[in-house]
Amino acid sequence: MRILFVAAEAHPIAKVGGMADVVGVLPKVLKQLGHDVRVFLPYYGFLPEKLTIPSTPIWQGYAMFHYFQIYETRLPDSDIPLYLFGHSAFLPKRIYHGEDEEWRFTLFANGAAEFCWNYWKPDIIHCHDWHTGMIPVWMHQSPDITTVFTIHNLAYQGPWRWKLEGMTWCPWYMQGHNVLAAAVQFANKVNTVSPNYAQQIRLPEYGEKLDGLLRFLGDKVTGILNGIDPDIFNPETDPHIPQNYSAETLDQRVVNKLALQEEVGLEIDRNKFLVGMVTRLVEQKGLDLLLQMLDRFLSYTDTQFVIMGTGERSYETQLWQMASRYPGRVSAQILFNDPLSRRLYAGSDAFIMPSRFEPCGISQMIALRYGSVPIVRRTGGLVDTVFHHDPITETGNGYCFDRYEPLDFFTCMVRAWEGYHYRREWRALQQRGMAARYTWEQSAQEYHALYNSIYGLPPTHGLPEASVALEKEPLTVS
Ligand SMILES: Nc1ncnc2c1ncn2[C@@H]1O[C@H](COP(=O)(O)OP(=O)(O)O[C@H]2O[C@H](CO)[C@@H](O)[C@H](O)[C@H]2O)[C@@H](O)[C@H]1O
């Protein structure tokens, strides 16, 4: 099938969070399954620093009373065509934020629709998050182009209807009070990025006021677990970490711990329990819970803590303050830096994700692969990927807690800190985590089946034979 991915982010050229990991890798795997997949992205002002982009556009279009240009290049390390939507609104060197955010992404979605109607006509437009949410609405009148809408973040729902009507074409049949509410109604299929979160969003606690609508849509909304690219995230070959290692050579991993302690200004001590976190600094990620728990935990144990991320100013400030209160024990890296994030995954003993909600979570999968034991709240995709460690039966790959309460988080952290001191069991725990394979092959087949279902075709229809055989093998999760 001809499939166009339309999104605001794609790894490694335009990344803020996990959506980039999905859009940067899934097209490559779908291509191996025989699809003609292409990607459509805004031409951000920083892209020429990361990609070679021809100076002549391949096409010029017109939307919302503005001309725009389309430039064609390739997704790095692949032959996937990448179309860049060129307009002065995207010239600033940022992906999100700014007063024109709603307008410029609506223009982007409009440009993508024009592109599909007039230049390259796909069978399916695979849309990601609210930025692309008007596309399913418009394509409702183009029955030969179908749409899949993937929810990475239900909390951001785009402009309200009254605002949209002042910006763009809202067809007479359009229902929904904002972009996301309209997108889920008009897309042929809707999915979110883990099976558990697909169920949770039907509940008022997680539905972000769309739970009723999502319940009403029934089977149209499904969950497909994200994966990670085992070649990109591979401690055996990662060029960004001082010492490569594998599950069999975990002894060597300590080199990364010592180097990380030095790099981020922690006391250099191989025996201290070093806990890490890499995240967008937003409410979703449970930072209020962390900040309520951390002081007490640091007084009770000799743990070291390093956090890396950017986001809301109040969290950045509180983390700075925490770091200044605990010199040598807490380090706040208020920045976005992919190579340093790898060193953090490779050098920390444990990795925390106390999320308030989590559609899937990529970070815990990377942590598992790098042998950093995840400590997570059991919500969303974290339930599908992290299983509580049971030292007696020697099962599980991390530590989990249920309620969004500081005491529950604290207790879970203490259990992990204690567990760390039983070195033999801890090593086995790390190895079980490293053995889990959350790769894209399985998920790509589920997307393939989802695309087929739009046309009433059986799930494996059109799959290469080797992949059908792969599908029969169960996913290995310890
Ligand atoms: N400061 C920093 N420096 C370097 N790298 C950083 C960084 N901050 C974050 N990252 C990286 O960004 C990614 C974060 O991905 P997540 O899936 O964990 O969360 P996110 O909320 O962004 O994604 C949303 O979309 C994804 C994809 O569907 C869902 O898994 C998730 O639940 C949903 O909230 C990881 O690769 C992480 O290493």
Three-state SS annotation for the chain = CEEEEECCCECCCECCCHHHHHHHHHHHHHHHCCCEEEEEEECCCCHHHCCCCCCCCCEEEEECCEEEEEEEEECCCCCCEEEEEECHHHCCCCCCCCCCHHHHHHHHHHHHHHHHHHCCCCCEEEEECHHHCHHHHHHCCCCCCEEEEEECCCCCCCCEHHHHHCCCCCCCCCCCCEHHHHHHHHCCEEEECCHHHHHHCCCCCCCCCCHHHHHHHHHHEEECCCCECCCCCCCCCCCCCCCCCCHHHHHHHHHHHHHHHHHHCCCCCCCCCEEEEECCECHHHCHHHHHHHHHHHHHHCCCEEEEECCECHHHHHHHHHHHHHCCCCEEEECCCCHHHHHHHHHHCCEEEECCCCCCCCCHHHHHHHCCCEEEEECCCHHHHHCCECECCCCECCEEEECCCCHHHHHHHHHHHHHHHCCHHHHHHHHHHHHHCCCEHHHHHHHHHHHHHHHCCCCCCCCCCHHHHHHHHCCCCCC
Mutate which of 353, 363, 368 for ligand 1 pocket (most atoms within 8 A of beta carbon): 363
Query: What is the model's pLDDT at position 466?
Result: 67
477: pLDDT strictly greater than 70:
no
Q: Convert the pLDDT of each residue in 171-190 to its tens digit.
A: 999 999 999 999 999 999 99
469: pLDDT strictly greater than 90:
no
Mutate which of 23, 127, 131, 341 for ligand 1 pocket (most atoms within 8 A of beta carbon): 341
Q: What pTM did the predictor assign?
A: 0.93
Share of the chain above pLDDT 90, in %: 93
Residues forming the annotated binding site for ADP-alpha-D-glucose? 15
Q: Convert the pLDDT of each residue in 17-48 to its tens digit.
A: 889 999 999 999 999 999 999 999 999 999 99
CATH 3.40.50.2000 domain locations along the chain = 2-227+442-471, 247-435
Average pLDDT over residues 416-421: 97
pLDDT band at 7 (very low <50, low <70, confident <90, very high): very high
Q: Convert the pLDDT of each residue in 237-258 to its tens digit.
A: 999 999 999 999 999 999 999 9
Q: Which atom of ligand 1 is nearest to the CA of 353?
A: 18
Q: Convert the pLDDT of each residue in 323-366 to its tens digit.
A: 999 999 999 999 999 999 999 999 999 999 999 999 999 999 99
Q: Rounded to 5 degrees, what are φ and ψ at 115? A: -60, -45
Q: Convert the pLDDT of each residue in 203-235 to its tens digit.
A: 999 999 999 999 999 999 999 999 998 889 999
Query: What is the model's pLDDT at position 436?
Result: 86
Query: What is the model's pLDDT at position 389?
Result: 95
pLDDT band at 470 (very low <50, low <70, confident <90, very high): low
Average pLDDT over residues 8-14: 96
What is the maximum span of the chain, computed from C-alpha positions, in angstroms? 66
Query: What is the model's pLDDT at position 464?
Result: 86
ipTM of the complex, rounded to two decimals: 0.98
pLDDT band at 468 (very low <50, low <70, confident <90, very high): low
What dotted CATH number matches 2-227+442-471? 3.40.50.2000
Would you tell me which CATH number, out of the four given (1.10.240.10, 3.40.50.2000, 1.10.10.10, 3.40.50.10090), belongs to the domain 247-435?
A: 3.40.50.2000
Ligand 1 pocket, 280 CB below 6 A? yes
Q: Which atom of ligand 1 is nearest to the CA of 309?
A: 1
474: pLDDT strictly greater than 60:
no
162: pLDDT strictly greater than 60:
yes
Query: What is the model's pLDDT at position 113?
Result: 98
Query: What is the model's pLDDT at position 478?
Result: 40
pLDDT band at 472 (very low <50, low <70, confident <90, very high): very low
